[in-house]
Amino acid sequence: MKNKLLWRLWAIIGLGTVVLFLAIDWLTNHTETSMSFIADTHQQTLLNYGKQAEHIYLTQGEDALAEYIKHIQLQEQTWAGVVTSKITPFADSELVPLFTDYFQLGRGVEWKIHLYFAQNPIMEVPFVDDATHLLIQLPQRMRPGAFLMMFRLLLQIALPLILLCLLTYVVYQHVMRPLKRLEKATQEFSDGKLDARVTPLLPKRHDELTDIAATFDKMADRTSSLIQNQRQLLADLSHELRTPLARIDMAVDFVEQNLNQAQALERLRYEASTMRSLVEDTLTFSWLSTELPSLNTETFDLVELINVICDDAKFEYPHNMLHCDLPEQAMIDNSSQVALGQAIENIIRNALRYTPLEKAVSVHLKKLHNTYTLTISDNRPGVPDALCDDIFKPFFRVEKSRTATKMRGEGEAAAHSQKNHGHGMGLALAQRQVHAVGGEISAHNRIDDTAGLTIAIALPINATSTTQASV
């Protein structure tokens, strides 16, 4: 579902609105109900008026009761009277129109008072005989709900503001909590903590903010991987440059001492060429790994490209055997001839470099569905199965288990191996270049009667027009 965060915010706001109105309604009713009763002290005052009136009537007579009723009216600034159950006044009492129009016996002091009536109700306090009743219009000072207006303002203005503030805070926390954690992870990552991630810090939620967190984590994974790879690449490059630099220093010493100058100059040229190739290949590898370039796309014949590479390899390695099993034609669309050619050339040269002189390197190309599969097999001792994926890492070598010198023997073969030794970037570059044109590359040891390593390249016949290099 799209706009998950929007729907969630709508749900929170909708629920908050419902809760707001329910709270206002309940509090209003509860407050009005609690404020609709006469205070206990006032109830007791009214009851005392009744008891005193009854006592005066029984002990002093009707005239004295009439005087007491006048006293109550004067003291409370209200109407009071005494009636029988038959609503016949006595003790010089008069029934006012308010009483005759609205009064019915039974309105006790504990009854609920209607706060919205303009006039105060008439209360009655029965005598012991329950045949006589003291009637008194509720004094204004005893009327409940004196703070009703203030409470209504609080309920209608203050309470909604408070609940809206709480609702806003909930929405703010719901949105800002993951953003703050994202900010924290971003700050930590910018400070050099490359393992900083956001998703593990977030609660289980599925919305646009978690998508942002996941995107950040992917970016952080790629960036940290690139940084670590570049650091490792720089460390490896520094290590690889030490040997040719040391040899250059030695050759310079020979030149300065007029010792074997010709050999020293040859060594200088060779080591300079080696360093140039090393630096160029390293820069190309780094460019393919970090920049994700869009390669120029074109249509070309893969067979023609392989034949040119093999012819050049035969010229460079005249003492090696190179067998090619290729179809007449293999057209590839939307690919890069330059990148693919460099990759195939590096793999073939690597195979020839480590294959004994009496053994052959085989190149096969076949079509399977919409893919061309190119296999390059050598006859070297092979690579431990656990290291088949590691051979595509920069500067990786398996020199302890097999060396070019041992495989090639003595004399000219050994000199040829030294002259054409690699620096461990060929297969790494090949992998990046094959990935750049949308292909896949893998290595495995041969399981037939002959030993050796086979590198297989799967290439789409029609690659995407803007294939990018993958790391």
Encode pLDDT of 265-303 as tens digits: 888 888 888 788 778 777 777 777 666 665 657 889 999
CA distance 263 to 415: 14
pLDDT at 100: 62
Residues 6+ apart with CB under 8 A from 235: none
pLDDT at 467: 42
Residue 323 has phi, psi (to 5 degrees) of: -105, 130
Dump pLDDT digits (tens) for 311-362: 998 888 888 889 999 999 999 888 888 888 888 988 998 888 888 887 889 9
Report, as an integer, the average pLDDT of 203-210: 72
pLDDT at 235 over 80: no
CA distance 210 to 192: 23
DSSP character for 154? I
Report, as an integer, the average pLDDT of 166-174: 80
For residues 85 and 105, is the Cβ–Cβ distance under 8 A? yes
pLDDT at 13: 81
Residue 334 has phi, psi (to 5 degrees) of: 55, 50
CA angle, 28 then 29 then 32, to 5°: 80
Give the CATH number of domain 293-471.
3.30.565.10
Output the DSSP codes for 214-226.
HHHHHHHHHHHHH
Half-sphere exposure of 94 (CA within 13 A, CB side): 5
pLDDT at 412 over 70: no
pLDDT at 471: 32
CA distance 227 to 378: 35
List the domain boundaries for the chain: 40-146, 207-291, 293-471
Q: What is the pTM of this model?
A: 0.52
For residues 39 and 144, is the Cβ–Cβ distance under 8 A? yes
Output the DSSP codes for 103-114.
--TT--TTSBP-
* Mean pLDDT computed over every residue of the chain: 78
Q: Quick one: which of 286, 303, 458, 315 has its CA closest to 375? A: 458
CA distance 45 to 53: 12
Q: Report the top-level CATH class of 40-146.
A: alpha beta
pLDDT at 180: 83
Of all residues in the chain, the percent with pLDDT exceeding 90 is 13
CA distance 423 to 443: 19
Q: Tokens for 34, please give them.
A: 């609690």
pLDDT at 445 over 60: yes
Beta bridge partners of 116: none
pLDDT at 344: 92
Q: Tokens for 24, please give them.
A: 């206002």
